[in-house]
Amino acid sequence: MKTKNKVLILIAIIIIIIGTVITVTKGFNFDLRYEGGKRIELNLQKTFESSDIKQIAKEVIGQDVVIQKIEIYEDAVSILSKDITEDQKNQIVTKINEKYGTEISAESTEIIVVPHTHLKDLAEPYIIPFIIATLIILIYIGIRYYKLGIIKTIAKTIGIVIIWQVILYSIMAITRIPIGRITIPLTLTIYMLSLVYCTTKFEKNLKQQKQNEEKE
């Protein structure tokens, strides 16, 4: 095995070990939208600037918030944070009423508990299409590269795809990249790149095998 490959394998092993330890001890870092927390929904019944609402909410709550316009006419707002107390809710309502001249009732505004979204819940809509696509690809690889050994090429493909995914999530755990909207697209990108890597290697090996056969 070349020295370069040995170094890459060693780096991959170290990343996986560190990522596994961090995942077990600290877990993944989730985006606030998926981490869970508390939310309030306020109907202003008029147009507003999300930046204004965010500034008010951050001043009152003192931590990160997610602001989202809701309803068809975008005249209502959802405010999400890790925690919102009754007093903070009342302050936010009062400040928004002062800012926009609205008459939102703090008493009728509920604090909604938002459950934590697990990684499996985030991936669930993609599992069946992913399995079907993978089976089709593995069948193609088995047929296309049968001269290299069907079981060998399929096993290598599965192994490489899994290892690349493990490395990806290990890096996300180490760097604390939030699990959120970019997670699935990033997972699929690495999945496709790992398949491209496999087929490129198999094509090279198949070409080499054909050349050897012609020489004989």
CATH number at residue 67: 3.30.70
Instruction: Please tell me whether residues 179 and 137 are part of one structural domain.
Output: yes
Instruction: Please tell me whether residues 127 and 181 are part of one structural domain.
Output: yes
Instruction: Please tell me whether residues 109 and 149 are part of one structural domain.
Output: no
Summarised one tens digit per residue, pLDDT across range 194-214 is 999 999 999 999 888 888 777
* Gap between the Cα atoms of 98 and 78, Å rounded: 18
* Gap between the Cα atoms of 141 and 35, Å rounded: 39
Instruction: Please tell me whether residues 129 and 198 are part of one structural domain.
Output: yes
Confidence of residue 216 (pLDDT cuts 50, 70, 90): low
Instruction: Please tell me whether residues 127 and 150 are part of one structural domain.
Output: yes
* Gap between the Cα atoms of 99 and 213, Å rounded: 80
DSSP tally for the chain: helices H, then strands E: 7, 4
Q: What pLDDT, on the 0 to 100 scale, is given for residue 45? A: 87
Instruction: Please tell me whether residues 24 and 11 are part of one structural domain.
Output: yes
Instruction: Please tell me whether residues 43 and 81 are part of one structural domain.
Output: yes
Asked if 76 contacts 44 with a C-beta cutoff of 8 angstroms, the reply is: yes
Instruction: Please tell me whether residues 122 and 21 are part of one structural domain.
Output: yes
Instruction: Please tell me whether residues 184 and 155 are part of one structural domain.
Output: yes
Mean model confidence pLDDT for the chain: 91
Instruction: Please tell me whether residues 131 and 198 are part of one structural domain.
Output: yes
Average pLDDT over residues 51-76: 89
Range with the poorest average pLDDT among 23-27, 118-122, 139-143, 147-151: 118-122
Q: What pLDDT, on the 0 to 100 scale, is given for residue 71? A: 79
**Does the pLDDT of residue 2 top 80, yes or no?**
no
Of the candidates 86, 114, 142, which is a domain's last residue?
A: 114
Of the candidates 114, 136, 153, which is a domain's last residue?
A: 114
pTM of the model: 0.80
Q: What pLDDT, on the 0 to 100 scale, is given for residue 181? A: 85
Average pLDDT over residues 99-122: 89
DSSP 148: G
Give Cβ neighbours of residue 139 (< 8 Å, ≥ 6 apart).
none
DSSP 216: -
Provide the 3-class DSSP secondary structure of residue 52.
helix
Q: Is residue 199 part of a domain?
A: yes
Average pLDDT over residues 149-160: 94
145 closest CA partner among 98, 95, 201 = 201
Asked if 28 contacts 20 with a C-beta cutoff of 8 angstroms, the reply is: no
Instruction: Please tell me whether residues 184 and 126 are part of one structural domain.
Output: yes
* Gap between the Cα atoms of 192 and 130, Å rounded: 11
Inter-CA distances, 77 with 43, 52, 65, 104, Å:
6, 11, 12, 12
When divided into structural domains, the chain yields a total of: 2
Q: What pLDDT, on the 0 to 100 scale, is given for residue 121? A: 85
Detail the DSSP E strand segments found in the chain: 37-43, 65-70, 76-81, 112-114
Q: What pLDDT, on the 0 to 100 scale, is given for residue 1? A: 55
Q: Is residue 215 part of a domain?
A: no
For residue 158, what are the domain limits?
Answer: 3-30+117-210
Q: What pLDDT, on the 0 to 100 scale, is given for residue 136? A: 95
Q: Is residue 57 part of a domain?
A: yes
Q: Is residue 216 part of a domain?
A: no
Q: Quick one: tokens of 83?
A: 């925690």
Q: What pLDDT, on the 0 to 100 scale, is given for residue 6? A: 85
Residue type, 206: L
Of the candidates 70, 95, 114, which is a domain's last residue?
A: 114
**What residues does 70 pair with on adjacent strands?**
76
Instruction: Please tell me whether residues 57 and 105 are part of one structural domain.
Output: yes
Q: Is residue 102 part of a domain?
A: yes
The Cβ of residue 102 has, within 10 Å, a number of other Cβ atoms equal to: 15
